[in-house]
């Protein structure tokens, strides 16, 4: 092989070796640079966080809790006391002394005061509007007649003089007249007379029995009971006997009506429930309500002067006694307590 060719080949090998060395150096340099660029950074120290445990939710835990404030209680309104009725001023009939006499409940809790004392029967007392006089029925002269007396029992005077029956007296609101039932013909009728017994006028004229008159507070009308249709019903008429209106209509006994002081209601006695009960109704006969609702006898109701109470007689204790109840039937109070028969009450109209 010629020398020139060998030299050229050698030079080419040297150049190739140098290029290889240079490439290795460049590659090494690149690797070193890359290693510096991609080395992971040391971790940044995080601040230590202390986690407190949640408080125990059991009832025995001592952990402090937010306490909801208790609601402030709203005070209940103080009930307005309803005044107790004062039975002072109630007159009634009792046979506790052996015969029917008129008595006065002067003070609650005390023995009643006798206003009449005789061997006859004195019944059906009723106060005058001013509380100065009492009208009543007596047999002391041999027949039932209407009498009047002072509030203390003095000055007893007969107003009627009739062989038949005169009874159930009722004062007019102005105290000038007295309505009553009289048997002067074939049956009982309603009459009116002056408070001294004069000026007698007949108001009803029916085939039945008319009794138990009671005046309206304005003196314009009279309520009464009549059996003109076959059984006792409640009727209203003008004070001159005209304008008759029937309020009840049934096949039982409705009687003993009494007009309320405000003129809006009528209380009466009825047997419509199979026994005698006390009912109340409007003056037009509507809205009937049983007030007494007891299996015993309850009857002869009369209003208190303020219209808040009703006095009546009842045998619910075993014998006839006087009771008071509210105008709605509540608040029952026993007034008398005696083995004798007490009944026919009337409440002093002056408050």
- The string of pLDDT tens digits covering residues 176-232 is 999 999 999 889 999 999 999 999 999 999 999 999 999 999 999 999 999 999 999
Q: What is the mean pLDDT of the chain?
A: 83
Phi-psi region of 171 (alpha: psi -120 to 50; beta: other; left: phi over 0): beta
pLDDT at 186: 86
Cα–Cα distance for residue pair 267/248, rounded to 1 Å: 12
pLDDT for 112: 95
pTM for the predicted model, two decimal places = 0.76
What tokens does 52 get? 């407190």
* CATH number belonging to domain 90-347: 2.120.10.30
CA distance 59 to 37: 61
Taking a C-beta distance cutoff of 8 angstroms, is the pair 290, 273 a contact? yes
CA distance 178 to 219: 11
Query: Which residues, listed in sequence order, are joined to residue 137 by a DSSP beta bridge?
Result: 123, 146
Torsions phi, psi for 74 (to 5 deg)? -85, 120
Domain ranges of the chain: 90-347
pLDDT for the residue numbered 88: 76
For the chain, list residues with pLDDT below 70.
1-83, 108, 351
- Looking at residue 187, what is its pLDDT? 93
Report pLDDT for 107.
77
According to the model, what pLDDT value does residue 64 have? 36
């Amino acid at each position: 092989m010629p020398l020139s060719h060998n030299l050229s080949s050698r030079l080419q090998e040297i150049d190739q070796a140098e290029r290889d060395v240079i490439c290795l150096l460049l590659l090494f340099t690149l690797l070193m640079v890359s290693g510096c660029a991609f080395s992971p950074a040391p971790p940044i120290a995080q601040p230590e966080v202390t986690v407190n445990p949640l408080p125990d939710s059991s009832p025995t835990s001592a952990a402090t809790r937010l306490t909801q404030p208790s609601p402030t209680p709203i005070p209940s309104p103080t009930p307005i006391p309803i005044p107790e009725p004062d039975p002072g001023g109630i007159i009634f009939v009792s046979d506790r002394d052996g015969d029917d006499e008129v008595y006065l409940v002067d003070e609650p809790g005390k023995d009643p005061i006798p206003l009449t004392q005789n061997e006859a029967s004195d019944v059906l007392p009723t106060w005058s509007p001013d509380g100065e006089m009492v009208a009543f029925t007596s047999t002391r002269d041999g027949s039932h007649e209407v009498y009047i007396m002072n509030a203390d029992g003095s000055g007893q005077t007969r107003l009627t003089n009739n062989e038949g029956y005169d009874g159930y007296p009722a004062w007019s609101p102005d105290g000038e007249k007295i309505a009553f039932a009289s048997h002067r013909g074939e049956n009982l009728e309603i009459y009116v007379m002056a408070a001294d017994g004069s000026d007698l006028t007949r108001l009803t004229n029916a085939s039945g029995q008319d009794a138990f008159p009671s005046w309206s507070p304005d003196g314009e009308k009279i309520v009464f009971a009549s059996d003109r249709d076959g059984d006792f019903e409640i009727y209203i008429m003008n004070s001159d006997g005209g304008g008759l209106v029937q309020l009840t209509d049934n096949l039982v006994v409705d009687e003993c009506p009494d007009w309320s002081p405000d003129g809006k209601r009528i209380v009466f006695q009825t047997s419509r429930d199979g026994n005698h009960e006390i009912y109340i109704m409007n003056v037009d006969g509507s809205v009937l309500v049983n007030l007494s609702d007891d299996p015993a006898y309850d009857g002869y109701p009369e209003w208190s002067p303020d219209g808040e109470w009703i006095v009546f007689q009842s045998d619910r204790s075993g014998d006839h006694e006087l009771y008071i109840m509210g105008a709605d039937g509540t608040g029952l109070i026993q007034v008398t307590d005696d083995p004798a028969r007490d009944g026919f009450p009337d409440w002093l109209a002056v408050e």
